[in-house]
Amino acid sequence: MSYDYFLFARPSSGQAPDLETLGASKRPIGTPAELMARISAFFPALRWEPPRGGIDAWFGVQGPPEFMLSADGAGNVCVLKAAYIERDEISALANALGCVAFDPQKGLFVGD
């Protein structure tokens, strides 16, 4: 079954991830261009739609899966949303990006 997930940079301390700490630290995952290229390598059918109409986010569509990413003021992405993606796909992508994936439906990190 596919779910929505949020990806955060893996804690630099090596400790188990904690949602509050990850949200507060806002460590960058990469720039939009870097992430779009890396995600597209996993899912080559994706088509990226640029921000428009007052929505400041890039959307990776033509899936499933689908992605949404938005840069902060410094031009970095700190949180990435993935939708309609399978658990094994999100695990592989999170590992490749150096991220942890949070499953809001279960309130757990993938692998917990």
Domain boundaries, the chain: 3-106
Q: 């088509």: which residue's tokens?
A: 47
Q: What is the pLDDT of residue 7?
A: 93
| In contact, 39 and 60? CB cutoff 8 Å | yes
Amino acid at 16: A
Nearest residue to 8 (alpha-carbon basis) of 98, 96, 86? 98
Q: What is the pLDDT of residue 21?
A: 73
d(CA 71, CA 95): 21
Query: In the 8-state DSSP scheme, what is residue 30?
Result: B
Helices (H), the chain: 19-25, 32-42, 87-97
pLDDT tens over the chain, length 112 residues: 558 999 998 877 666 677 777 666 778 999 999 999 999 999 999 999 998 888 889 999 987 899 999 999 899 999 999 999 999 999 999 999 999 998 888 888 886 5
d(CA 32, CA 35): 5
Q: What is the pLDDT of residue 3?
A: 80
- Domain 3-106 is of which CATH architecture? 2-Layer Sandwich (3.30)
Q: What is the pLDDT of residue 66?
A: 95
The residues facing 103 across adjacent strands are 108
CA 17 to chain centre: 15
